[in-house]
Structure formats: structure tokens, C-alpha cells
Amino acid sequence: MRYNALRILREGLTGNAGWKPAWRDPAPRPEYDIVIIGGGGHGLATAYYLAREYGLRNIAVLEKGWVGSGNVGRNTTIIRSNYMLPGNEPFYELSLKLWEGLEQDFNYNAMVSQRSILNLFHSDAQRDAFVRRANAMMLAGADAELADAEQLRSELPFLDFDNARFPIRGGLFQRRGGTVRHDAVAWGYARGADRNGVDIIQNCEVTGFDIDAGKCRGVETTRGPIRARKVAVCVAGSSGRVMAKAGMRLPIESHVLQAFVTEGLKPVLPGVITFGAGHFYVSQSDKGGLVFGGDIDGYNSYAQRGNLPVVEDVAEGGMAIMPMIGRARLLRSWGGIMDMSMDGSPFIDKTHVEGLYFNGGWCYGGFKATPASGYCYAHLLATDRPHPVATELRLDRFGRGHLIDEKGVGNQPNLH
């Protein structure tokens, strides 16, 4: 069923009795061409592009919980392509371009809102670094715009420009950045994949791999064994645990990241704003809540909830740039498990086991990557060659010394 204005009108006049479930609930079959483990944004996007771009339909997505139960439904919804390094920027710019056409593409309202992102800077040295980043972005075809403090004062008068410790000197805008309704992305890709014949199997946890003589022939699941020619792991925060079942140790640690939402307020924030002297980012949802977050909890964990010291730290960051936030009441908070890689950049690669592929290491920036991640992973699975914008996202880059360390902080995952 395609969604369109006429359909909404007809359903509205006939008691909404004609809507069908957005995707089927099939039982797992004994064998598929490709089994994707993880029904998050990346797994579902991979299935969607495999079907749509390569005409492959004998595909199952196995999800241990329900579609949208992982990070795809827990993030702070920010999309952008303001990266600097050649291994990253073209990939994230492709993602932003895919976001721009996504809703028409999969016929679903994901509320893609290019309301802009602004990274504040607080010193001359930081401004120079942002100028360099802006130039790198423009070289890769992205948009970037530098603003001085005077421009920001007129656009965002509520910011604390003269904070004694962190005076705001200006900022780097990416006007095409913004937000997308996160769970609608999972639903849209799930519906699109299902319409192309993909089986989305929820409540089906992968508990092991069938690996024989260096070749992966399928998976063990809580709903029985499933054979497959190719197995594509795509489980974000559970990457370490799942790949351990295949005998692999990854350059990834799992940490909790928390998100916070205030009560609904009148429109006040035009776009996404990030603090340059601490870790704090904020936007306003269409319902009016201020949606914000900051650093990950500083220790490894697979819990989907965080702890109070980070709540205090995030609140301090918010107060430092936007004191008015102190008067808003916090409505809810939650946590998700981040697959923090050692250089802060992701992987989309084959493994040394034939037929076993890996997608992960998204840290806390994988939501914006969802379309390109699915697109490039589908390319790798279908052709056995990396997509041209994902050639650097390899598992062996640490052995080769070719890190993609966007922040330049070294192999300390909790700092990326």
C-alpha cells in the first residue's frame, strides 16, 4: 500500500479501516541468500538497498527485539556531514544526500528537517580549526558557512556570549544539517524492505554462527538454525558480543550514551547547536521538547541506561552556553549502547571468515550515517567490493596504521 494524500482522505472518511500493517510478520525460512543480523536502522537500510538497488529479495533481517528497539530509536536525531578527513567526509556527504531524497524514495514521512547545525567556537585557535574543517567539507561538495559572534548574536540572542570561561567567538554552520524523526527511519526502511520481499523477523536472537572450514554457512537463532550464503552482522552496540560468537575480537568497546528531553516549550531553537568547549548538543523537537545530550558514560557497559554523574556534566554544558535551559523541566532520559571504535570511525568490511561481513563501530554518530551505511553495506554484500566512498572503513586499518581519527585523540574510545 502506497501512502498518499488521497489515501489519507479516503481512510479518514471510511473510519481508517483500510490500513494494513506496515510490514508482515513472517516465520523464518530454513535458508536465505543473505541473512542480516540486527533490525536497527543500518540493518533495515541494508536490506532495503539490497532489494532496491541490486534486485536481491531472498533476504532476512533477524532482530532479537523489535524494530526500533535499539539505538535507531534512542538517538538525538541529528544529521550532518561536517567531517574533515578524506576517509569520512565523502561517506557522510553521500548519507546527507540520501537523507535529502529519502522520504520520496521509500514513501514514508521520516520528518527530515534540514534546520541547520551550528558548532560554536570559543577561541581563535578553535576558529582556525573550524575554517580548516569548513574548507575540507566544501572540497567534498558539502556546504559550510562561518559566522562571527555578531551574526550569532542576532540569530541566537539567548546564547551566553560573554561567559567568562567560554565566550562565544562564532560558529560553523552547516545549513543542510538538521534532524530526522529517528523511529520513523526504522519504520520507513522496514516497510520499504518488506514491500520488496525481505522477511523481517522480530524476536529472533542470533545465538551462534555455523562456521565450517573458514566459511560461514548460517546462524543459530532462538527460532532455530537458518542457513545463508552470506551473513551480515549489523548490531551496533552489541557488535563485540555477537562477533565473539564467531571467534572474533574487535577494536571496539561498548559504552552507554544518554539522551534527555525537557517538557514542551514554544519554538525557541531554530536548529541544532553544539558547545565547542565541552560536550553538549541540543535541538528542539517538533513537539517542543529540548532534546540534548553530551558525553558517554566513561566505563564499558551493555546496560541501556546511564548514571547521574553524566547527567550533571551534560546539564553543566547546557548551562554554560544557554542558561535559560536551567528553567526547563526534564521530562525523560534514556540510554543506548554505543559501539565505540578505537579511532572513532566505523567499519563496513568483510571478515577473514568467508561469507561473514561486519558493519559497526558507529560510536555515537551512526544515525546520520544510516542511509549511506545501508547503501554501502548493500554494495559490499552484492558485489564483494567496497563502495567507493567506504574504501577506508576497513577492519585492518589499525594493523596498517591508517587510522581515521577525526578528533585526533588517539586510541581512547571514550574520547571520540
Ligand X SMILES: Cc1cc2nc3c(=O)[nH]c(=O)nc-3n(C[C@H](O)[C@H](O)[C@H](O)COP(=O)(O)OP(=O)(O)OC[C@H]3O[C@@H](n4cnc5c(N)ncnc54)[C@H](O)[C@@H]3O)c2cc1C
- Residue 51 CA to residue 40 CA, distance in Å, equals 17
Backbone angles phi, psi at 282, to 5 degrees: -150, 145
Considering the complex, what minimum distance in angstroms separates the CB of residue 353 from ligand X? 17
In terms of CB distance, is 63 or 392 closer to ligand X? 63
- Residue 218 CA to residue 28 CA, distance in Å, equals 13
Closest by Cα among 311, 260, 250 to 283: 260
In terms of CB distance, is 242 or 265 closer to ligand X? 242
Instruction: Tell me the HSE value of 120 on the side-chain side, using a 13 A CA sphere.
Output: 30
In terms of CB distance, is 238 or 284 closer to ligand X? 238
- Residue 131 CA to residue 133 CA, distance in Å, equals 5
Query: Across the strands, what pairs with 123?
Result: none
165: which DSSP letter? S
Considering the complex, what minimum distance in angstroms separates the CB of residue 149 from ligand X? 26
In terms of CB distance, is 127 or 335 closer to ligand X? 335
In terms of CB distance, is 134 or 235 closer to ligand X? 235
Length of the chain: 416
Nearest residue to ligand X, scored by beta-carbon proximity: 40
CA-CA-CA-CA dihedral for 411, 172, 297, 237, to nearest 10 = -70
In terms of CB distance, is 169 or 357 closer to ligand X? 357
Query: Which residues does 349 contact at the CB level (< 8 Å), separation at least 6?
Result: 357, 358, 380, 386, 393, 394, 395
In terms of CB distance, is 169 or 240 closer to ligand X? 240
Compute the radius of gyration of the chain from its Cα atoms.
21
Specify the DSSP element, H or E, that contains 195.
Answer: helix 182-195
Considering the complex, what minimum distance in angstroms separates the CB of residue 75 from ligand X? 3
Considering the complex, what minimum distance in angstroms separates the CB of residue 123 from ligand X? 25
395: which DSSP letter? T
Q: Cα 371 vs. chain centroid, distance in angstroms?
A: 9
Considering the complex, what minimum distance in angstroms separates the CB of residue 124 from ligand X? 28
In terms of CB distance, is 71 or 351 closer to ligand X? 71
Considering the complex, what minimum distance in angstroms separates the CB of residue 339 from ligand X? 7
Considering the complex, what minimum distance in angstroms separates the CB of residue 366 from ligand X? 2
Binding site for ligand X (CB under 6 A): 37-43, 62-65, 69-72, 74-78, 205-206, 234-238, 242, 257-259, 293, 336, 362, 364-368
C-alpha cell, 155: 540569530
Specify the DSSP element, H or E, that contains 171.
Answer: strand 170-174
Considering the complex, what minimum distance in angstroms separates the CB of residue 59 from ligand X? 15
- Residue 124 CA to residue 336 CA, distance in Å, equals 35
In terms of CB distance, is 265 or 291 closer to ligand X? 291
Considering the complex, what minimum distance in angstroms separates the CB of residue 74 from ligand X? 4
Give the amino acid at 194. Answer: D
Backbone angles phi, psi at 196, to 5 degrees: -95, 10
- 361 to 15, 151, 174, 315: CA distances (angstroms): 46, 37, 24, 27
Considering the complex, what minimum distance in angstroms separates the CB of residue 256 from ligand X? 8
**Number of neighbouring beta carbons within 10 Å of residue 12:** 9
In terms of CB distance, is 71 or 285 closer to ligand X? 71
